[in-house]
Amino acid sequence: MGNLARANSESNTHEIVIKRGMSEREAAIYLGIPMNSLRQGRCDGARDGRMPPPPYLKISRKIVYLRDDLDRWLEQFRIELGPP
């Protein structure tokens, strides 16, 4: 059924849509970083000594971050510790 979940009640059908794309604000909250970090990354691109920006889409003037892209982007910062 994709990103659409349906729940039937006696007389109503409720639809819950799980968003694939997020606004800049939603992405910042999801990632736990300031919106300005996302904005600066988009404007400046990857720079030495700075956090690389996550991938995004530009649809007309709207910026959209895809949940899957953000999850993959986060994984590059994973630090796995070995046994002590």
Residue 10: which pLDDT band, with cuts at 50, 70 and 90?
Answer: low
Tokens standing for residue 72: 């993959």
Asked if 41 contacts 84 with a C-beta cutoff of 8 angstroms, the reply is no
Instruction: Kindly state the DSSP code that residue 77 receives in the 8-state scheme.
Output: T
Tokens standing for residue 55: 């991938």
Please give the distance of CA 42 from its chain centroid, rounded to a whole number.
Answer: 14
Per-residue pLDDT tens over the stretch 18-53: 888 999 999 999 999 999 999 999 888 778 888 889
Asked if 9 contacts 19 with a C-beta cutoff of 8 angstroms, the reply is no
Write down the domain spans for the chain. 20-75
